[in-house]
A and B are shown apart, each in its own frame.
Chain A
Amino acid sequence: MADTLTVLGLESSCDDTAAAVVRQRAGGRPEILSSIVAGQTELHAAFGGVVPEIAARAHVEKLDLCVEAALSEAGLRLSAIDAVAVTAGPGLIGGLLAGVMMAKGIAAGAGLPLVGVNHLAGHALTPRLTDGLAFPYLVLLVSGGHCQFLMARGVEDFTRLGGTIDDAPGEAFDKTARILGLPQPGGPSVEAAARAGDPRRFALPRPLLDRPGCDLSFSGLKTALLRERDRLMEAQGGLTEQDRADLCASFQAAVTEVLAEKSRRALALYMAEAPAEPAFAVAGGVAANATIRAALEAVAAEAGARFLAPPLSLCTDNAAMIAWAGLERFRLGRRDDMTLSARPRWPLDAASPAMLGGGKRGAKA
């Protein structure tokens, strides 16, 4: 195999359309030659969340434009690319299909190999792209759609130590913003409001902290917040800015405390394996939250592990991580053929028992 590999990546599993080019000399430091992300926030803003049909419509018309922009920014033609990597799941089926078909078209037309990538592997392998982390390391993947602790042992070898049994924290931030009349996406707006708030004013629950293990739950927290809001609304006929800030701060404190304590437990399991270069990485959009990040950093220091949070642009959905995960798979000799399927559900750790979902559509996590 060629010593230097240059891979084009495509991502369209949720509400960001993205394309990127990543290059790596064998054993060298990977380089992101370009990373284009076309968001759809404004298309979904009026609906209080991502509308799958709107997302699918947008992906189909934006993907090739993103690919062209990524190639042009990298200053490369397709003839300089070694493989096309694409997110094949998990995610919203309409977007995944658009990405997979676009990638197949490019691969067929340019005579390039195709590599399907698991979106979660993209997030989980990002610390290797940014900092060259050696296996095994611990990752907390925490975003709008996912929340799980993964022990990354190899490019295709992940063990899930625990995860959410219901909502993801990013989803809880969005819902919090919605019930408090703050703009979407909820992560940044709740964090901004929380800065002026008192995190101790409302005693919100810390779900599952009383149970052993690394599983998490966030749906009850959202309900508790709604109850506090309704109590205030009934008493005063609305919320003051201070009420809203205090609700946000109390909510953020609860999420932070739960994530920190569960991280402590996951780190204990990880450190018990005596890794040579212990590292704890956080990935996903929620890693952008400064309060959560600081708490996780403290927990990592306590355990004696290096803490790592990729830059924000590589924490939220992007295609550089897909190009990179594809490059790593490609180096192992992995290829997919033209029958590659889009998989709305695709657990990264297929060996551990399913936590969420089941039946005909299979496990979600």
Chain B
Amino acid sequence: MGRGQAERLFPMLEGLLKQAGIAWRDLDGIGVGTGPGNFTGVRIAVAAARGLALALEVPAVGVTMFEALAAGAPLPALACLPAPRGQLALQLFGAGGAGSEPFLATPDEVPARLAEAPGGGALTCIGPEAGRIAALLDASVALPVANPAVAIARIAAARLETVRERPRPLYLRPADAAPPKEAPPAILP
């Protein structure tokens, strides 16, 4: 779904509740995907989740797409997502499951950026770009255990008691903005 997410999200959620035979008030928390991904789409979901959480007086829990992909994968795992401008968005989850700092890289930069990661098939790549990255790193590929929305709901449920921060979109780069090129005029004494 590209355009129309803002119009379709709530009718879809209402349909989902109806299918499950429950009402908004029956929810104990709201899980939401925080990306990385399309900025507008992520913001649509995060704003909706924060609004619902406010009204229902339940926690909203942000879950990144990396976490959703890595849930249930053999560890260590590398979550691999496409990013704009020929880049990839990556996050490494160590043997204990803890995630390193997510980062952006072009495919050529990946091996150097992951020099510390285990090789020789000990690493599992997961996600839409997993095949491409596994070939570069001599790693194996696994399919995600659950669809992202289900993984997000499960992870959020596990964090309901401990979550402190409100969900915020995960941006891997700053907003595109440049200060004005022209210098201000010199002010004479």
Contact = CB atoms under 8 A, between A and B. Distances in A.
Contacts of A364: none
Contacts of A99: 47
Given A51-B175, A51-B177, A60-B169, A104 B51 contact: yes
Contact of A108 (B7, B43, B55): B55
B112 interface: no
Contacts, number: 144
A68 B54 contact: yes
B176 to A, nearest CB: 6
A105 B43 contact: no
Interface string B30-58: 00000000011001111111111111100
Given A97-B44, A104-B48, A105-B51, A56 B39 contact: yes
Interface string B116-135: 00000000000000000000
A61 interface: yes
B187 A240 contact: yes
Interface string A42-53: 000011100101
The residue in A93, A102, A178, A238 that gathers the most chain B C-beta atoms within 10 A of its C-beta is: A102
Interface string B148-185: 00000000000000000010110100011111101011
Is chain B's interface secondary structure helix, strand, loop, or mixed overall? helix
B55 A61 contact: no
A238 B52 contact: no
Interface stretch (B9-17, B63-71, B76-84, B96-104): B9-17
Interface in A28-64: 46-48, 51, 53-54, 56-57, 59-61, 63-64
Contacts of B180: 47-48, 178
B186 interface: yes
A217 B178 CA distance: 28
Given A48-B180, A64-B50, A341-B6, A238 B188 contact: yes
Contact of A102 (B7, B13, B48, B186): B48
Is chain A's interface secondary structure helix, strand, loop, or mixed overall? helix
A155 interface: no
Interface residues of A, number: 51
Interface residues of B, number: 42
A110 interface: yes
A325 interface: no
Given A47-B178, A237-B186, A238-B186, A57 B169 contact: yes
Interface string A235-249: 011111100100000
A105 B50 contact: yes
A48 B175 CA distance: 15
A100 interface: yes
A238 B187 CA distance: 6
B185 A239 contact: yes
Contacts of A97: 6, 40, 43-44, 47
Interface of A: 46-48, 51, 53-54, 56-57, 59-61, 63-64, 67-68, 78, 93-94, 97-111, 178-181, 229, 233, 236-241, 244, 338-342
Given A57-B175, A109-B24, 9 more contacts: A47-B179, A56-B39, A64-B54, A94-B40, A105-B47, A105-B52, A111-B24, A178-B180, A236-B188
29 contacts: A47-B178, A51-B177, A53-B39, A54-B177, A56-B43, A57-B43, A57-B171, A60-B50, A68-B54, A97-B40, A97-B44, A98-B43, A101-B45, A101-B48, A102-B47, A105-B50, A106-B51, A108-B13, A108-B51, A110-B56, A181-B184, A237-B188, A238-B186, A239-B186, A239-B188, A240-B188, A339-B11, A340-B7, A341-B6
Interface of B: 6-11, 13-14, 24, 39-40, 43-56, 166, 168-169, 171, 175-180, 182, 184-189
